[in-house]
């Protein structure tokens, strides 16, 4: 199956919450975030193919017809007719809400068999003082977590990371995190819309009321362990494959190419998604001469 191109789905999201609104409805006093969903099988937001014989069809409709031929046998056995990943660009104008996502087991029990959400960030651009929040900087328990949300001190125990282009953060389900203002990132995640909002800086939503916090739901979803480093270390080498993240949901690599690069996919039992984050290039399918 030849390389498929997809039409981006452009959205304006208030502080990274669930409320999606047209840009014209956002007042100048309401900070927001722009998102471009590059590849999505989320119900109601399925990506539309933009080239070839499948042009105009959604990724879901093609997946339902071609099944494992499109995504691979093991992937299809696991996720069926739901495309397993959501891939997008996020342009944060100000700090997004602090969040956590449940893992598969907790999501299945609480949300009618739904998947959890493990994700990763690749920083494409960042302002000079830009930062992200990921993980705990201090050991706390469930009771202290609730108290700190109530007394507005939860940010004091979160790890703050200054960022620059090329920084990578892996965010397994259960890790507290937030994208902060001045960051433009590429995000890869499981197809799931389950988000527990932990803290939102006391801001008001579009209805003029404080936005809902999911304190109790998040309490049992959080990984309270403190890790030595939340940033993913990697070294860029030109004209080769640089592995960034490998987990059971996705494998992500970076390529900094100055010359043509060929990758053999004959033994790959999966789909391959390609994002261009800088410069330009082309992607072609090479016929097998064997």
Catalytic residues: 197
Using alpha carbons, select from 169, 141, 148, 166 the residue that is nearest to residue 232: 169
Separation between Cα atoms, residue 133 and residue 159, nearest integer Å: 6
Neighbours of 8 (CB within 10 A): 16
Beta-carbon contacts of 208 under 8 Å, excluding residues fewer than 6 positions away, are none
Question: Phi and psi for 235 in degrees, rounded to 5?
Answer: -125, 125
What's the Rg (C-alpha) of the chain?
20
Strand pairing class (158-162; 183-190): unpaired
Structure tokens given for 101:
């996502």
Structure tokens given for 103:
């893992």
Separation between Cα atoms, residue 95 and residue 178, nearest integer Å: 7
Residues comprising the chain, all counted = 290
* Residue that is written with structure tokens 């493990």 in the block: 118
Neighbours of 57 (CB within 10 A): 16
Cα–Cα distance list, 72 to 67, 229, 249, 265, 275 (Å): 8, 34, 13, 12, 20
Structure tokens given for 121:
């960030």
Q: Is residue 3 within 8 Å of 283, Cβ to Cβ?
A: yes
Separation between Cα atoms, residue 255 and residue 278, nearest integer Å: 11
* Residue that is written with structure tokens 């995640």 in the block: 189
């Amino acid at each position: 199956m030849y390389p498929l191109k997809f039409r981006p789905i452009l959205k304006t999201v208030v502080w990274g919450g669930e409320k999606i609104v047209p840009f014209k409805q956002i007042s100048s006093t309401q900070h927001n975030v722009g998102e471009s969903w590059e590849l999505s099988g989320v119900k109601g937001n399925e990506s539309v193919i933009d080239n070839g014989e499948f042009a105009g069809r959604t990724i879901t409709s093609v997946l339902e017809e071609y099944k494992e031929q499109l995504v691979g046998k093991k992937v299809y056995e696991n996720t069926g007719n739901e495309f397993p990943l959501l891939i997008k660009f996020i342009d944060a104008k100000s700090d997004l809400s602090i969040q956590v996502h449940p893992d598969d087991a907790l999501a299945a029990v609480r949300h009618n068999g739904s998947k959890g959400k493990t994700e990763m960030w690749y920083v494409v651009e960042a302002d000079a003082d830009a930062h992200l929040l990921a993980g705990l900087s201090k050991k706390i328990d469930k009771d202290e977590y609730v108290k700190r949300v109530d007394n507005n001190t939860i940010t004091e125990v979160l790890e703050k990371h200054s960022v620059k282009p090329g920084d990578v953060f892996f965010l397994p389900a259960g890790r507290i995190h937030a994208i902060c203002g001045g960051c433009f990132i590429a995000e890869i995640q499981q197809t799931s819309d389950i988000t527990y909002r932990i803290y939102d800086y006391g801001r008001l939503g579009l209805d003029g009321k404080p936005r809902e916090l999911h304190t109790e739901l998040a309490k049992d979803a959080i990984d309270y362990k403190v890790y030595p480093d939340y940033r993913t270390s990697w070294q860029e080498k030109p004209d080769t494959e640089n592995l960034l993240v490998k987990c059971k949901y996705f494998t992500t690599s970076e390529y900094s190419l100055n010359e043509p690069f060929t990758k053999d996919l004959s033994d790959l039992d999966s789909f391959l998604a390609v994002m261009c984050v800088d410069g330009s290039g082309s992607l072609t399918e090479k016929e097998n001469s064997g």
